[in-house]
Amino acid sequence: MSKIKIDLERKIGNVDRRIYSGFIEHLGRCIYGGIYEENSPLSDEHGFRKDVMDAVRPLRMPLLRWPGGNFVSGYHWTDGIGPKEERPRRIELAWHTEESNRFGIDEFIEYCRTIGTEPYICVNMGTGTLDEAQAWVEYCNGTGNTYWANLRRQNGHEEPYNVVYWGLGNEMYGRWQIGMLSAEDYVKKAIEFAKVMQWTDPNIQFISCGLNGWSDWDRIVLEGLASFVRYHSIHIYTGSEDYYSNVFSAHQAERALRNSQAMIDIVRYEQNIEHPIHIAYDEWNIWYRMREADTRLEEKYSLADALAVASYLNSFIRHCNTVKIANLAQLVNVIAPIFTNEQGLFLQTIYHPLRLFSEHMLETALDVFVDSETYTLSPEQEVSPWPHRVGDLGPFKMLDVTVTCDTSERELAIAVVNRDRDHAHTATIQLTDPATLTGVVAYEVNGKSPEVINSFEQPHAVNVQEHRLDLEGQNINY
C-alpha cells in the first residue's frame, strides 16, 4: 500500500493559473479546419468553430500564444489585416504549404475575447524587421493619432487590444528556423527589437527565446536579455514508444526548471536585476509519432500519453515558483487535445488531465510526502526521436503526486498519477492536521489499456469517471 502524507504547513508557493495556457500555430489543421472554418455549418459568423470553442472553454486557458512556432519566422503580420479578399496568399516555408492569411491579428484577438483568454504574440525575428515588430505593437496597443493605431481603428477596432505578452522570436537557435541565429547574434537583435517595442508601449512584457533551460544558448540569452525580459522560454517535447520511457519523460521538465532557475538566480545576482524573471514553458507536450511536416503532426494520443501529460502538470506545480506560464502545444488537431473533422470533433485522451487540473487544482502547492514503489529505466528503454534522456532522473515513483490547497486552507486538490502499466495501487492519504473531511470526490481518467486511444468511432475509450469516496477518520483510502 502506498502512502501520501499531507501537511498544510509545508507550502511550496503559489500556482500560477497561466501554466494551463495554450498555443495555436498556422500549421496543418490547427487554425484552418480547427478553430476556424469559414462557411461551415458548425461555425459562427466570424468563422470560429462553435463546437471547438465549446471544447476549448472548459480548459480555461489563461493565455493563448500565436501565430507560431516555426511559422512566425516567415510571417508578415500585415498580410493578415484588411478585407479578406484582398489579403495575399503566400508560400509558407516553415511547413511547406500555402497561407491564405484569412486568419490574422484581428481574428486572433476576436477569438481570444470570445473564448475568454489573453493574447500572447510571438514576433517574427527570422524574416521580420524591427519596423514590423514596432508596427505590430502600435497596431495592437497604440492609442495616439498615428498610422498603425489608426489603421486598427479603420479596420473596425476603435479600442486598443492591450496585448501584454510579446515573445522575442521562436526557436532562433534551430537549423529548421527561418533566419537561424547564434546566441550572441540573437541577443543583439532581440535587444533592438525589445527597445522599439517597449518604447511604443512601456506596459508590454517580453519572453526571451530559450532552448531547454540548461544549454549555453539559455545562459547567453539570459545574460544578454535579463534586464529586458520578465520571462525566459523553454521548449521541450518528449515521448517514446516505450511505455515507461514515455510516462516518465515528463520529468525532463523538472531538469529544465531546476537548471533554468539556477541560471536565472546567477544572472539576477550578478547583474543586480530587481525585477523577477520566470520561466514561460512556451511549448510542451508528448510528441513522438507524427514528426514529419507532411503528416500535419496529427498525433493520436493514448492513455499512456495522458498519464505523461498529467505528470508534466505535476512537474509544473512542484516548480510553481519558477514556472509561471506554460503553453500546451498545440490546441486543435496538431499535437492537440481536440481533434476535428468537417462533421464534428472528439476529445483526445490528453484533454482530460488538462481539464481536470485547470478546473480543480488550487492556488497553493504543498510539499507532499509520497511512499510508493519505484521503477528504474534502463538505457535500452530510452528510445525516443528526441535527443534527451531522462533515466538519470530516476528511479521514479510509480505514483506521481501533487497537492494544492486554497487560500483559506479548507479545500484540497490532489493529483495522483499511477504510472504502473500493469497494476492498480492502493494509497492511504493522511492529513497531519486534525480535520473533518467531507465531500471527497475522485475524478479518474482511465481506459482498458495504456495503448487505448480515443477516436471518432470510440470517443470515450478514455474518459473521466467521478466517484464519491468513503472516509476513515482523517485518512482517505483509494
In order of 28, 256, 286, 358, 459, the CA distances from 41 in angstroms are 21, 44, 32, 30, 22
SS3 per residue for 123-147: CCCCCCCHHHHHHHHHHHHCCCCCH
Asked if residues 67 and 26 have their Cβ atoms less than 8 Å apart, the reply is yes
Closer Cβ to ligand AHR, 94 or 133, answer by number: 94
In order of 122, 191, 232, 277, 299, the CA distances from 206 in angstroms are 9, 11, 8, 10, 31
Closer Cβ to ligand AHR, 66 or 478, answer by number: 66
Asked if residues 455 and 300 have their Cβ atoms less than 8 Å apart, the reply is yes
Closer Cβ to ligand AHR, 285 or 418, answer by number: 285
In order of 161, 195, 253, the CA distances from 229 in angstroms are 21, 11, 21
DSSP assignment letter at 469: P
Question: Which cell goes with 154?
Answer: 479603420
In order of 171, 181, 243, the CA distances from 373 in angstroms are 38, 46, 17
Binding site residues, ligand AHR, CB under 6 A: 25, 68-70, 170-171, 235, 283, 329-330
SS3 per residue for 172-217: CCCCCCCCCCCHHHHHHHHHHHHHHHHHHCCCCEEEECCCCCCCHH
Closer Cβ to ligand AHR, 235 or 324, answer by number: 235
* Nearest-CB residue for ligand AHR: 69
* CA–CA dist 100, 244 (Å, integer): 42
Closer Cβ to ligand AHR, 30 or 112, answer by number: 30
In order of 46, 121, 274, 324, 343, the CA distances from 236 in angstroms are 34, 19, 28, 16, 33
CA-based nearest residue to 373, from 394, 357, 353 = 394
Closer Cβ to ligand AHR, 95 or 478, answer by number: 95
Task: Kindly state the smallest distance separating residue 24's Cβ from ligand AHR, in Å.
Answer: 10
Asked if residues 88 and 101 have their Cβ atoms less than 8 Å apart, the reply is yes
Asked if residues 114 and 102 have their Cβ atoms less than 8 Å apart, the reply is no
Task: Kindly state the smallest distance separating residue 287's Cβ from ligand AHR, in Å.
Answer: 8
Of these residues, 25, 171, 254, 382, which one is catalytic? Answer: 171
Task: Kindly state the smallest distance separating residue 16's Cβ from ligand AHR, in Å.
Answer: 22
Question: 283 catalytic, yes or no?
Answer: yes
Crossing angle of helices 216-225 and 183-200, rounded to 10°: 30
* CA–CA dist 204, 183 (Å, integer): 23
Closer Cβ to ligand AHR, 26 or 319, answer by number: 26
Of these residues, 37, 254, 283, 382, which one is catalytic? Answer: 283
Q: Please give the positions annotated as active site.
A: 171, 283
